[in-house]
């Protein structure tokens, strides 16, 4: 049955892709030229076929809930390290950070640091204790010494909230990305991501998800290493020479001049170039930076899909080894993105990168195309196709991890733990797990399509802020503080999550129609006047090099006008934000600096106020001993 269904899925997908490639000419233009589209689909097809084969093998193994949720706890430390990296390095890190570096230099690189430092918290205080006392979910950890039904309900709600925020960002980002890269319809790519991910999760559970994440992480690292090798080689692998090439590049200098505006006129060309390697071109508010840093450093350890990975290894020691590997891979990858970003700034140029995608997401793919020999060459397009396929695999792998985490919260915590009072047969729980995965997967596809065109970038930061303000205080205090009890975690988790969401709803992240019009109307006007000037110059240009340069600048101005005009059109007839505000109440974009301490405070207050709880204090000694020495930890299926 599994095999038949997998075949049907593959057929469905391949016919979907075939149909789109036939229409490729008529659809929106992607970064890949129409005559090379077949190459992209070939590489996509190969990677999908490989992951489907792995899922087919996994489906034969996944017979029990322990296999479905935790891959039988038989994943090795090294494998889990790669899988964590595959689960964590989303398209935002792969394409987004390289893009930020290519457009804003130093600030993009600085932004990447917090994503690695986050794993120190995971390593030191979360991974091993959670492995020692947990079973499958965040709810299991919190239910250990708190009231199981209440703890599982609140943990499941929080897990689903965090996962849906993160999922939406991934689905929308993925849809836009695939459309930009290869020009297939947004809806088609959202459905393709959703259907593929569902095939992995429903048939192969955690076993297939783990292998898809490992394959994706290996592909990502190989692609990045190759790109960096060829980018850095012309400079004899010397860091100062490479940096010198960046600061003395006229395209980099022009980008800095554009970002700085008036003050740039006082600066020499070399000063402008050097400015690219200095802070402040992108991140203007230090408090927001610190707030985001807090959300990353404390939120990663509270991410349900990351926590879940620690239940797949046999022992706490393997959990530790897996974080070490993950830190090596994730950190190494972020160091590589510096070279990818600067390489794209030198070889492709900020103008061309932002002409295709204003957020800079195409920096990495365009660099790949350049290194292979450019837009007209076969090799260049093969490289581009490879990077595009890796980006696609990235989205699918991250989404699969998120769906599995929320599905397990739904079936294991809510259905089995709360509704059935732990009285479900293994067969029933297995069915519940698969049905939950289907439900979450369908929600992800529907939300992804519904949120088309919305600005969802802040949803990733919000997911981390909620995890840091709600999940982390509850887990940390359950593990390390004797007086922590059910009232504390229920109050702390609900208040932590609500405060993070509430602060974002009144923050500048939301759309304020009046402000959008005020900002974008002058932008449309200035872009229009630039278009007029450039068109006139282009008409009279005789030299082909000048004409080409003018043409690129003209296209960039046209994109800018179109983007600004779209923003104005989207808020037509509106005056108030989603929660009815004309202007933001706070200037903080990232709520962490307020909501994280508030979450901790609520857990503490909730625990201290009112009657003391017998169960949570009686079980403290057992929990504290077990989390430290690993006695009675859930064994692997080999036992």
Partner 1 sequence: MPATTPDWAAIHADPRFADLHARKSRFLWGLMLVSVVFYFLLPIGAGYFPALFKIKVWGPLNVGLVFAFSQFVVAWGIAFIYERRATREFDRMAAELCAHYTGVQP
Sites of contact with partner 1 (CB under 8 A): 106-107, 109-110, 113-114, 116-117, 119-121, 123-125, 239-241, 243-244, 246-247, 273-274, 277-280, 283, 285-287, 289-290, 293, 297, 315, 317, 320-321, 323-324, 327-328, 331, 334-335, 621-622, 624-626, 628-633, 635, 639
State the nearest-atom distance from the C-beta of 130 to partner 1, in Å: 14
Instruction: Give 549's contacts (C-beta < 8 A, 6+ positions apart).
Output: none
Q: State which residue, 307 or 316, has the beta carbon closest to partner 1.
A: 316
| Beta carbon of residue 263, minimum distance to partner 1 (angstroms, whole number) | 14
Residue 31, SS3 per DSSP? coil
Tell me the two tokens of residue 80: 């889990």
Give me the phi and psi of 406, to 5 degrees please. Answer: -75, -35
Provide CB contacts within 8 A for 587, sequence distance 6+.
285, 507, 508
User: Which of residues 218 and 283 has its CB atom nearest to partner 1 in the complex?
Assistant: 283
CA 381 – CA 371 distance, rounded (Å):
10
The distance of closest approach from Cβ of residue 234 to partner 1 in the complex, given in angstroms and rounded to an integer, is: 16
The residue among 114 and 359 lying less far from partner 1, judged by its C-beta, is: 114
Q: From the CB of 486, what's the least distance to partner 1, in Å?
A: 20
Residue 283 or residue 358: which is nearer to partner 1 going by CB?
283
Are 42 and 286 contacting, i.e. CB atoms less than 8 angstroms apart? no
Q: Is the CB of 9 or the CB of 588 nearer to partner 1?
A: 588
Alpha-carbon span 21 to 27, nearest angstrom: 9
Closest separation in Å from C-beta 159 to partner 1: 25
Which tokens sit at 162? 């965090």
In whole angstroms, the minimum distance from the beta carbon of 347 to partner 1 comes to 18
Nearest to 214 by CA among 202, 226, 222: 222
Residue 383 near residue 87, CB atoms below 8 Å: no
Ordered alpha helix ranges (H), 409-456: 426-450
| Shortest spacing between CB 287 and partner 1, in angstroms | 8
SS (H, E, C) 317-386: HHHHHHHHHHHHHHHHHHHHHHHHHHHHHHHCCHHHHHHHCCCCCCHHHHHHHHHHCCCCCHHHHHHHHH
Question: With the CA atoms of 89, 92, 97 and 102 taken in that order, what torsion angle do they form, in degrees rounded to the nearest 10?
Answer: 140
Q: What's the min distance (Å) between Cβ of 240 and partner 1?
A: 3
CA-to-CA distance for 151 and 492, rounded, in angstroms? 12
Minimum distance, C-beta of residue 597 to partner 1, in the bound complex (Å)? 14
Q: Residue 343 or residue 372: which is nearer to partner 1 going by CB?
A: 343
CA gap 502, 632 in Å, rounded = 41
Find the shortest distance in angstroms from Cβ 591 to partner 1.
16
Six-digit token string for 379: 């090799």
- Tell me how far, at minimum, the Cβ of 239 lies from partner 1, in Å: 7
Nearer to partner 1, 189 or 289 (CB): 289
CA dist 292 → 163, 166, 342, 448 (Å): 18, 15, 24, 25
Residue 188 or 323 having the CB closest to partner 1:
323
Q: What gap in Å lies between CA 538 and CA 534, rounded to an integer?
A: 6
Q: Residue 155, SS3?
A: helix
Cβ-based nearer residue to partner 1, 246 or 444 = 246
Task: Locate 590 and state its tokens.
Answer: 């990232």
Complex with partner 1: residue 316 or 440, whichever CB lies closer: 316
Phi, psi (degrees; rounded to nearest 5) at 360: 85, 5
Q: Nearer Cβ to partner 1, position 120 or 439? A: 120
| Closest CB to partner 1 among residues 132, 408 | 132
Residue 511: Cβ-neighbour burial (10 angstroms; 0-12, 13-18, 19+): middle
Cα 254 vs. chain centroid, distance in angstroms? 31
Q: How far is the CB of 452 from partner 1 (least distance, A)?
A: 34
Q: How far is the CB of 302 from partner 1 (least distance, A)?
A: 15
Beta carbon nearer to partner 1, 6 or 112: 112
């Amino acid at each position: 049955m599994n095999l038949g269904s997998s075949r049907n899925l593959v057929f469905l997908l391949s016919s979907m892709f075939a149909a789109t490639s036939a229409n490729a000419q008529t659809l929106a233009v992607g970064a890949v030229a129409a005559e090379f589209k077949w190459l992209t689909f070939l590489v996509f097809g190969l990677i999908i076929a490989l992951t489907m084969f792995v899922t087919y093998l996994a489906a034969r193994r996944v017979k029990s809930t322990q296999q479905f949720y935790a891959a039988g706890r038989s994943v090795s430390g090294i494998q889990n390290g790669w899988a964590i990296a595959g689960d964590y390095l989303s398209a935002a890190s792969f394409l987004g950070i390289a893009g930020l570096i290519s457009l804003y230099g130093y600030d993009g690189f600085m932004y990447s640091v917090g994503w690695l430092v986050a794993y120190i918290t995971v390593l030191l205080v979360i991974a091993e204790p959670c492995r020692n006392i947990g079973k499958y979910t965040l709810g299991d950890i919190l239910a250990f010494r708190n009231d199981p039904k209440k703890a599982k309900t609140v943990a499941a709600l929080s897990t689903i909230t965090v996962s849906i925020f993160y999922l939406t960002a991934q689905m929308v980002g993925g849809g836009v990305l695939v459309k930009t890269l290869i020009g297939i319809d947004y809806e088609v790519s959202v459905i393709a991501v959703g259907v593929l991910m569902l095939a992995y999760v429903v048939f192969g559970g955690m076993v297939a998800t783990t292998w898809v994440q490992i394959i994706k992480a290996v592909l990502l690292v190989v692609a990045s290493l190759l790109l960096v090798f060829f980018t850095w080689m012309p400079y004899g692998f010397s860091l100062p020479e490479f940096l010198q090439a960046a600061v003395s590049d006229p395209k980099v200098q022009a980008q800095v001049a554009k970002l700085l505006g008036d003050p740039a006129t006082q600066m020499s060309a070399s000063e402008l170039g050097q400015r690219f390697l200095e802070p402040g071109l992108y991140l203007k508010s230090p408090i927001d930076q610190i707030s985001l840093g807090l959300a990353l450093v404390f939120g990663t350890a509270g991410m349900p899909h990351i926590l879940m990975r620690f239940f797949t290894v046999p022992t706490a020691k393997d959990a530790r080894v897996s974080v070490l590997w993950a830190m090596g891979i994730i950190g190494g990858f972020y160091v590589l993105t510096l070279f990818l970003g600067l390489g794209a700034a030198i070889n492709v140029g900020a103008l061309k990168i932002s002409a295709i995608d204003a957020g800079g997401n195409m920096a990495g793919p365009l660099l790949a195309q350049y290194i292979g020999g450019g837009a007209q060459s076969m090799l260049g397009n093969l490289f581009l196709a490879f990077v595009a396929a890796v980006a696609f695999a990235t989205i699918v792998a991250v989404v699969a991890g998120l769906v599995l985490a929320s599905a397990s919260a739904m079936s294991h915590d809510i259905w089995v733990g709360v509704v059935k009072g732990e009285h479900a047969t293994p067969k029933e729980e297995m069915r519940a797990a698969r049905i939950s995965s289907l439900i979450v997967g369908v929600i992800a596809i529907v939300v992804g399509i519904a949120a088309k065109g919305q600005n969802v970038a802040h949803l990733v930061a919000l997911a981390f802020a909620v995890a840091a303000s709600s999940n982390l205080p509850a887990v940390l205090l359950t593990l390390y503080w004797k007086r922590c009890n059910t009232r504390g975690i229920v109050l702390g988790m609900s208040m932590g999550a609500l405060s993070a969401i509430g602060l974002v709803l009144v923050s500048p992240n939301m759309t304020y129609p009046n402000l959008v019009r005020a900002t974008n109307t002058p932008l449309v006007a200035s872009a229009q006047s630039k278009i007029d000037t450039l068109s006139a110059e282009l008409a009279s240009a005789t030299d082909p090099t000048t004409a080409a340069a003018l043409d690129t600048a003209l296209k960039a101005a046209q994109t800018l006008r179109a983007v600004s005009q779209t923003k104005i059109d989207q808020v037509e007839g509106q005056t108030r934000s989603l929660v009815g505000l004309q202007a933001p109440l706070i200037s903080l974009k990232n709520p962490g600096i307020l909501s994280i301490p508030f979450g901790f405070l609520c857990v503490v207050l909730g625990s201290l106020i009112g009657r003391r709880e017998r169960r949570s204090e009686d079980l403290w000694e057992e929990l504290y001993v077990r989390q430290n020495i690993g006695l009675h930890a859930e064994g692997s299926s080999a036992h």
